[in-house]
Amino acid sequence: MTRIPTKVREELVSEDPAERGRQRLRLQRFRMAVATYAVVTLATAMVTRLGLGQMNAAQWVAFIGLGLLGNTVFFILFYTNANLRFSDPSLTREQIVYSAFWGLVPLYSLPEARPILLMFYLPAFSFGMLRLTRRQYFSVVASVMGFYLSILALQYYQDREGFRLQYQLFLFGIFAILLLWYAFFGGFVSDLRRRLGEQNRKIQKAHAEIQIEIEERKHAQIEKDNLIVELQDALNKVKTLSGLLPICASCKKIRDDRGYWNQIESYIRDHSEAEFSHSICPECAKKLYREIYRGKV
């Protein structure tokens, strides 16, 4: 049994919609179990009415009292979420074993109707089809057959009137074979359900990983497109000069693609990001301002 702190247990139910849904399903299955208790009680009453045996007042009190007590305990466990303290919150195995224990009362009190009463054990076993593993089923079968064997041993010890050992052992063997078949088949169904669940979880995990990868690729593509746009904008802003430039050998003007001659400053400014600030080099200054330079000599 795996114990979960009360605070964590409450958070599991209050915050996780999936856990709340599972709790509702467990309560529905519990209601079905209560209905089965009611059907078995009604069938037991019909058996006594048909004259297949009688139960005294004490036996009826024990029969109905144990049924009410057990179902009340299970209801409190489910209603308060205390069932989440168990490794199997559905309490399937516990409910089946308790129902078998509860059925000991009519099984002991109505030996003539025992074959009919044993049939009502089967619906309880059906509740474990989708929940119990094969090992768990075998443990339940062992508990139920142990209860049944204790009834036979008690009646044999009491030397009860009408008790036929060979007939009772025959019923015991048939019932054991039937429950073992339920254990094999129920374990197979439960194992198949678990394998399908694992495959479904793997598929969901793979699908989630694929979705993540798709989103990452989309994000990478968006970043790539943004980078391309940024590079394109940068290239549009950067103007470069390349190839042969026809330039006048005298005035140094440059001819553009339309055949117009432009000042070299204008051409370079239009085809690059360069800006000009005019000045005069020393050689040109000597040529242009010869008088100034003569005075300095």
Please state the domain count of the chain: 2
Position 236 scores a pLDDT of: 67
| Long-range Cβ contacts of 193-200 (<8 Å, 24+ apart) | 193/130
Please answer whether residues 163 and 155 qualify as being in contact, where contact means their C-beta atoms are separated by less than 8 angstroms: yes
Please answer whether residues 264 and 274 qualify as being in contact, where contact means their C-beta atoms are separated by less than 8 angstroms: no
**Pairwise CA distance, residues 72 & 296, whole Å:** 122
Position 174 scores a pLDDT of: 92
Confirm whether 224 is domain-assigned: no
Please answer whether residues 116 and 59 qualify as being in contact, where contact means their C-beta atoms are separated by less than 8 angstroms: no
pLDDT in 10s for each residue of the chain, 297 residues:
444 454 455 455 556 788 888 898 899 889 988 999 999 999 999 989 888 888 999 999 999 999 999 999 999 999 999 999 988 898 988 999 999 999 999 999 888 888 888 888 888 888 777 778 888 889 889 999 999 999 999 988 888 777 888 888 999 999 999 889 888 888 888 888 888 888 888 888 888 889 898 988 888 889 888 888 888 877 765 555 566 778 887 777 778 777 778 887 777 777 766 677 777 777 777 777 666 665 554
Phi, psi values for residue 247, rounded to 5°: -125, 140
Tokens (6 digits) for 81: 């979420």
Residue 172 identity: F
85 exposed, middle or buried (CB, 10 Å; 0-12, 13-18, 19+)? Answer: middle
Same-domain check for residues 68 and 193: yes
Among 211, 238, 262, the domain boundary falls at 211
Domain encompassing residue 114: 6-211
Residue 234 identity: A
Position 68 scores a pLDDT of: 95
Please answer whether residues 140 and 93 qualify as being in contact, where contact means their C-beta atoms are separated by less than 8 angstroms: yes
198 exposed, middle or buried (CB, 10 Å; 0-12, 13-18, 19+)? Answer: exposed
Among 156, 190, 211, the domain boundary falls at 211
Residue 278 identity: H
* CA dist 216 → 64, 142, 150, 211 (Å): 63, 55, 66, 9
DSSP for 139-166, written as a single string: HHHHHHHHHHHHHHHHHHHHT-TT--HH
Same-domain check for residues 82 and 11: yes
**Pairwise CA distance, residues 37 & 26, whole Å:** 17
Same-domain check for residues 169 and 266: no
Position 297 scores a pLDDT of: 47
What's the chain's length in residues?
A: 297
Same-domain check for residues 263 and 188: no
b/e burial code for range 131-156 (CB count within 10 A of at least 16 → b): bbbbebbbebbebbbebbeebbeebe
Same-domain check for residues 38 and 136: yes
Position 2 scores a pLDDT of: 44
Same-domain check for residues 98 and 178: yes
Q: 111 in helix, strand or coil? A: helix
**Pairwise CA distance, residues 232 & 230, whole Å:** 5
Confirm whether 234 is domain-assigned: no
**Pairwise CA distance, residues 27 & 74, whole Å:** 10
Q: In the block, which residue shows the tokens 């995990």?
A: 205
Same-domain check for residues 71 and 145: yes
